[in-house]
Amino acid sequence: MTTVSILTPSYGYGRFIADGIESVIQQKGPRLQHIVQDAGSDDQTLDVLRSFGDRVEWTSERDLGQSDGLNKALARATGDWVAWLNADEYYLPDGLRVLVEEGERHGGDVIYGDCITVDREGRLLGLRPQHPFSPMILRLYGPFLASVSVIIRRSILGNDPWDPSLKLVMDWDLYLDLASKGASFRHVSYPVGAFRQHEDQASAIRGRPETRDVRERYSIPRARWYRKVGTAFHRMRKLAAGSYARQLRARAFQGRDLRWFESEEGAETFRLVLGRCYGQRWGTDKSR
């Protein structure tokens, strides 16, 4: 059976991390290995981790930041595929199964789906559907792949693929590196993960120096009009893929609980989103 190793770097997110662990436990399909690499949290994180017993592998030790934590977790990974779940995120039903089946069927190296943004309490804010991969858009626009909705074939990652010097744009750097080495990227139209927006998240911090460094590393022009070209092509690809139509339909469910592993309302919200926004492909349109 195909195995997926889920890597979770963690520091001070004890109020959220149980959601992520529970969403992994309730996934169906591939065999899963969940590795939490905690950086020495002094909140309730360790108590939460202990409460799950042997259903999650974890260690708590100081590191050099999120990228270093991911590399440490990867060193313990045994799966055929690797997924990256931050401590404040969670998976949606069958998300990992859908990605693995797509990867195994078509032989891709990086498989990504869509994500849903949620607030601090896990209530739906919006749908972020994407489009088929474009290396030009990755270079000129940025990391449009949401890391919570990505799996990567273990054999192409090598050792220490995350740059410890990067604290904010390590995802862009990783995707650019994989693309430069000839990795194949495949998109599947399915909501895989929930990205939580809150005031304490690291991504809320600006990272201009890091962005500049990554651009220089991959010879990406810094001129503003290049970015504008990338944004224009990104929007056109989303329009052609029907992504904006999905976003509009998902607005009907804003404010609803999406914690499907915890409440019936959350499970129903996911069924409604899947039916209304993806029903034609997945045959689950029960919302009309």
Over 17-41, what HEC string results? HHHHHHHHHCCCCCEEEEEEEECCC
The token pair that represents 37 in the structure block: 């690499």
Q: Where are the domains of the chain?
A: 3-282
Identify the pLDDT of residue 198: 86
Q: Which CATH architecture has domain 3-282?
A: Alpha-Beta Complex (3.90)
Q: What is the pLDDT of residues 67-97, one digit of tens each?
A: 999 999 999 999 999 999 999 999 999 999 9
The token pair that represents 257 in the structure block: 């609980």
Cα separations (Å) of 276 from 99, 121, 252, 271?
21, 23, 9, 8
Residues of the chain falling short of pLDDT 50? 283-288
All residues at 6 or more sequence positions from 133 whose CB lies less than 8 Å from its CB, including other chains = 110, 112, 185, 186, 187
Identify the pLDDT of residue 204: 52
- Extract the runs of DSSP E, i.e. beta strands, from 92-248: 110-118, 124-128, 150-153, 185-196
The greatest distance separating any two alpha carbons of the chain, rounded to the nearest whole angstrom, comes to: 52
Identify the pLDDT of residue 286: 39
Amino acid present at 41? S
pTM, two decimals, is: 0.94
Identify the pLDDT of residue 206: 54
Identify the pLDDT of residue 1: 82
All residues at 6 or more sequence positions from 116 whose CB lies less than 8 Å from its CB, including other chains = 92, 124, 125, 126, 127, 128, 191, 193, 194, 195, 250, 258, 273
Identify the pLDDT of residue 285: 38
DSSP, collapsed to helix, strand or coil, labels residue 130 as coil
Identify the pLDDT of residue 223: 85
- Nearest alpha-carbon partner for 194 in 283, 122, 141, 281: 122
Tell me if 115 sits within 8 A of 171, measured CB to CB. no
Q: What is the pLDDT of residues 206-248, one digit of tens each?
A: 556 889 999 999 999 988 888 899 999 999 999 999 999 999 9
